[in-house]
Amino acid sequence: MYVVCEEHLERALDEFVEIYEMPPDLYELESVSTTDWAAPSCCTFCSKPPKYLVV
């Protein structure tokens, strides 16, 4: 799972496919809400605010 900014979206998609050998599901964080999980405050790859969830 990756939580990424727009700049690192392609990198997250590439890494996911390389590891799991299948395409991920992609969600915009503002459209995702769960009670058991809170999105991190920064991108997996940098300190920018995340925009996408790649799972």
3-class state of residue 2 by DSSP: strand
Quick one: CA torsion of 55, 51, 43, 23, rounded to 10 degrees?
A: 30
The pLDDT score that the predictor gives to residue 27 is: 95
The pLDDT score that the predictor gives to residue 6 is: 97
Residue 3 structure tokens: 């939580």
Task: Label residue 55 by pLDDT band (50, 70, 90).
Answer: very high
The pLDDT score that the predictor gives to residue 36 is: 81
pTM of the model: 0.87
For 1-54, write each residue's pLDDT tens digit.
999 999 999 999 999 999 999 999 999 998 887 778 888 899 999 999 999 999
3-class state of residue 8 by DSSP: helix
Q: Break the chain into its structural domains and give their ranges.
A: 1-29
Helix, strand and coil content of the chain, in percent to the nearest 5, comes to 35, 15, 50
